[in-house]
């Protein structure tokens, strides 16, 4: 008997394998919610043809949301958004010299007409992009909406239990 493999509904893309430490936080969050995903290195700069192909075929393959993380001249999220009408969530990956402020500015200042949802620099941004993707999926999937409510409840309990040193 073969196990049923659910096809991915979220694509987690990153410009380089060096982004994994940050972008792994998005994958971790999707796993927590049992959301089928695919994670790939796709670079607008280094693999422009593959990037176009990914964006052009994503919807037909069942992808509903794309999370794209990149550092430095982070054109990946914006270029994906230029080639698809799926929601694209951009994660600025911290860069070596400008600490990700360059990545943030590259992602956030999209021209009118081609939106990219831009998140915080680094791990929190990656995790929140995944949570936002779950929220989008939760608008049509009540099971996910319920899990999100549970997640918030658990987070609240954890924050309430926080103690400071005497
Ligand atoms: N910003 C982009 C794009 C792109 O936007 O297409 N492709 C790679 N990169 C970024 O270059 C940084 C350094 O990459 P390397 O570590 O491979 O040299 C990474 O943060 C990656 O996201």
Cα(74) to centroid(ligand 1), Å: 7
Task: Determine the atom of ligand 1 nearest the C-alpha atom of 18.
Answer: 16
Q: Is residue 89 part of a domain?
A: yes
Q: Is residue 165 part of a domain?
A: no
Q: What is the DSSP letter of 67?
A: E
How does the average pLDDT of the chain come out, rounded? Answer: 96
Q: What pLDDT shows up at residue 82?
A: 98
Tokens of 107: 């992602």
Q: Is residue 4 part of a domain?
A: no
CATH number, position 103: 3.40.50.1970
Q: Is 18 annotated as a binding residue?
A: no
Q: What is the DSSP letter of 2?
A: P
Q: Is residue 44 part of a domain?
A: yes
Q: Is 46 annotated as a binding residue?
A: yes
Cα(130) to centroid(ligand 1), Å: 20
The tokens 């103690």 sit on which residue?
A: 163
Reported pTM: 0.96
| CB-based contacts of 62, cutoff 8 Å, min separation 6 | 7, 8, 9
> Could you read off the pLDDT of 52-106 as tens digits, one per residue?
999 999 999 999 999 999 999 999 999 999 999 999 999 999 999 999 999 999 9
Q: What pLDDT shows up at residue 6?
A: 83
Q: Is residue 25 part of a domain?
A: yes
Helix (H, G, I), strand (E, B) or coil at 162: coil
Instruction: Choose the residue to mutate in 70, 78, 101 for probing ligand 1, maximizing ligand atoms within 8 Å of C-beta.
Output: 70
Q: Is residue 57 part of a domain?
A: yes
**Contact yes or no for 107/74 (Cβ under 8 A):** yes
Q: Is residue 3 part of a domain?
A: no
47 has a pLDDT exceeding 60: yes
Could you tell me what percent of the chain has a pLDDT over 70? 97
Identify the domain containing residue 135 by its residue range. Answer: 10-160
Q: Is residue 2 part of a domain?
A: no
When pLDDT is cut at 50, 70 and 90, the band that residue 4 belongs to is low
Could you tell me what percent of the chain has a pLDDT over 90? 96
Number of domains composing the chain:
1
> Could you read off the pLDDT of 127-153 as tens digits, one per residue?
999 999 999 999 999 999 999 999 999
When pLDDT is cut at 50, 70 and 90, the band that residue 5 belongs to is low
**Contact yes or no for 74/96 (Cβ under 8 A):** no
């Amino acid at each position: 008997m073969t196990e049923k493999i659910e096809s991915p509904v979220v694509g987690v893309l990153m410009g380089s394998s060096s982004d994994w430490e940050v972008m792994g936080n998005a994958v971790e969050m999707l796993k927590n919610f049992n959301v089928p995903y695919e994670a790939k290195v796709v670079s607008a700069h280094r693999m422009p043809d593959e990037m176009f192909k990914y964006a052009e075929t994503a919807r037909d393959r069942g992808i509903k949301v794309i999370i794209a993380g990149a550092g430095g001249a982070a054109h990946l999220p914006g270029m994906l958004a230029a080639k698809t009408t799926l929601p694209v969530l951009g994660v600025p990956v911290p860069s070596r010299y400008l600490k990700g402020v360059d990545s943030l500015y590259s992602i956030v200042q999209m021209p009118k007409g081609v939106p990219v949802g831009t998140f915080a620099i680094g791990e929190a941004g990656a995790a929140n992009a995944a949570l936002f993707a779950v929220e989008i999926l939760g608008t049509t999937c009540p099971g996910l909406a319920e899990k999100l409510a549970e997640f918030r409840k658990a987070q609240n309990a954890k924050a309430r239990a926080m103690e400071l040193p005497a």
